[in-house]
A and B are shown apart, each in its own frame.
Chain A
Amino acid sequence: MRKTWYIAVREYNAAVRSKAFIVSMVLMPVFMVGGIVVQKLLKGKVDTTDKTIAVIDHTDQLCEAIEAAANAYNENELLDPKTGKKIKPKYIIERVAPSEEEPDKQRVDLSDRIRANKLHAFVEIGKDVIEPNSNPRANADILPMTERVVYHGERAAIDDMRGWVRRILNERIRELRLAKVDMAADVVERLTRFVPVEPHGLLSLEGGKVKAEGRRSEGQLMVIPIIIMMLMLMMIMIGAPPLINSVLEEKMQRIAEVLLGSVTPFQIMFGKLLGTVGVSLTMVVIYVGGGLLLADRIDATQYVPYHLLPWFVIYLVMAILMFGAMFSAVGAACSDLKEAQSMTMPVMVTVMIPMFVWVNVVKDPLSGFSTWLSLVPTCTPLLMLVRQATPSTIPAWQPWVGLGGVVLFTIFCVWVAGRIFRVGLLMQGKPAKLTDLVRWAIRG
């Protein structure tokens, strides 16, 4: 056991001092948090150049509303009330009389102006938009052109201004239609008011008082499971795959033979796995510790699922042992990096499976699919934890049965990998085939 420990210590030191580890330690959170930060930074950096849109109004009744809305907007929303800085583009409406003779030429001309950057977009309002005759349930595509409003622009589909125009036009059109039947807009609004169905959590009795979890947003429900899963996946990915390189180094530099003169192959492999577990626990201390500190600073401690912390650590240790054993077997079976890369794929995919299904599991953690998949040992660490992180009550036996399965499967993996490791370690030259691996595992 002491020798295993020495190997573990060496492995740990070699891993945490490697550049790859330090870089990924620093970069991983940068990538994860970076996206949010960049979004935040870019939020204020919208394009504030003035936007002119041309309106061809065949109804002759709607353009005014757009102009009025644009004026109101230009007056009230253009400047930041605190700093007085211009934070939004000014909207300029240009009314264009419809051309009776050459409507297509008019459209082409306007398009050319957009291409020349003289114009932002142009809107053409059909003449029967206010009082359409066709079936109100008909698909917009089959309506006659006279009943449609078309927004032409280079990025029309994702243009914010199109949404603005739509809102203004519809408000005005509704007003006009209601006026025709002599109804006031506020009356209609009261009559057709929509009642929301709020998503709330469960209630519980604490010290004689009813405690409600209150309103829960979709984001809140998804955020915690995904943070937990990504954190664990990241630790597995930083910890386990480097074992391939480390075993390969020992094999290619013929260090393995020196080691085998002192320790058994199983001791080597187990020592390396323990070292890797140490690396992951170091990451837990840094990331989870950092996360908890951050949660404390931003007053988000009520969202931290403290009860999951022990499960997180146990599952992580098991996952590292399980996948680490697989990766070291791959390393031992190959004789160069190229070979190893192709043999790594299946193991990588096995690690990643939970990534592909986690949304379904979070949405319905009690479904048969979620339950069974989370009991498959290679998926248990990530998926069971994700299920436990949702507010649903997972039957109490399931995490334990899952853990039992993981422990058994991990022992099996380490045992099989140990046998492949022993045969593969001194094997040079010809690459091992899958059948060889199976034979080594069975015969030892």
Chain B
Amino acid sequence: MNPTTAAGTQLGQPNSTAIIFFLLFVAITLAITYWAARKTKTTSEFFAAGGGVSAVQNGFALAGDYMSAASFLGIAGLVATSGFDGLIYSVGWLVGWPVVTFLIAEPLRNLGKYTFADVVAYRLKQTPVRLSAAVGTLTVVSFYLIAQMVGAGNLIHLLFGLSYEMAVIIVGAVMILYVLFGGMIATTWVQIVKAVLLLAGASALAGAVLYKFGFNPLALFNAAATQYGPETLAPGKLVASPLEAISLGVALMFGTAGLPHILMRFYTVPDAKAARSSVFYATGLIGYFYLVTFILGFGASVLVGRQAITGVDKGGNMAAPMLAEVVGGTGFLGFISAVAFATILAVVAGLTLSGAAALSHDLWSSVVRKGKAPEHEQLKVARLASLFLGILAVILGVAFKGQNVAFMVGLAFAIAASANFPALLLSMAWKRFTTNGAVASMLTGSISAVMFIFLSPTVQVDLLGNASAPIPLKNPGIITIPLSFAVGILVSLMFPERESADRFAEVKHRMHVGAGKPTPPAPEAPASTAVGTPPTMPSPGKA
């Protein structure tokens, strides 16, 4: 169990196993894309896979969308370098999922079509609501994309020894192929393949670590405590101020319920019951994954050694790959590196598709063409939007090279929690919510979250090098989420909207009973909602 030195690692060398596994992944996913492209003929197929994804499939796809390289490499690295403090993130990233299950999944499925703006705009005036929802969506997607693309460039540079720009271009090009041709069907399957690979890779790695400790995690934790002192297993400096901790916590919790690429996935299942079950599966998979990160992090600190890890990458991001090399040799390192690459690819594909939905469905079809665009035009615009966003992602990735963008994921969550979540919840639950209220709430959320972060120590001190920041909070959630709710409620009360209140009964009916088919009240309910249908059904588009 001698910690290897940094010099002994193959990391960053062109690794044939890594390249073979990666090419294999790309080949399989492109084959899926080819198959999916032939099934993608309508906007419903392009954006929602025709509603034909089963609950289990969607559970894996949700997990695939959510488990980014940041959580795999980042959290394992944090736990490896700072022990218990890293676990606080593991816990925080999971607890948003129950909120999605309880408050969002079913109403969203029953009320919307492709985007969360469908739900907010249901009984309100289309144009202003869709415009402000698109602002929220596109800001979240852009910041998230920048963080992922820059992360991809750095990671792949470290893992494979490719140049940064080359890595960004490869990720961008493959992702564009998925989204442009295969739409949601391909993206869903890429997420599923990636989720299975990531879970299998992490499990194998954890198993190999535990093997060395008699399959007793406590022996591993104890070894970490012996090597680095008992404070490794106790909270350290990360949570210095309780207010800061709570603020981060609420942003993570409610941000998950406002992430456009996650929300969009609920339209891919046939009904509310499948939506509900799919979050249950996803929560289990993601929870398991974060529990495994406990093992990976402590395993890396004991078996690889903290010095060796930070010697390769100051942020500790290479802890998991280095651990793979120590327990399984170069071949395993290659496999884990390829999994990390695949992970990034899948996440950026999901993000791009949700951004394209906001551009084409919310802005073009609803605002510009007032819902009168014919189907083939909508599909063409959707594809153009995906291409545009994919190219933009590559440009942004190259433009932000060398910048510290880690805060952008936090920013994306803060905006999602403050701009999208309050309006979404109020539109489903509060009769007197109005167009003005929704617009005010969404814009207040976006603008205040961006402003607060700009004025926070993260940007002012860490990025701009100022001595202090006007706002001491690093994460603005605790202020901006209540603010966005308050503004939405106040503006709605100040300018009542009779029409919106009148249509609330319809919203309520549809939210619970579902859209139903536009058929007359036949005794035959839609098959997917009939009594006794198992939760995981329709298998339309399977190979």
Are A and B associated in one complex? no
Chain B residues within 8 Å of A, Cβ to Cβ: none
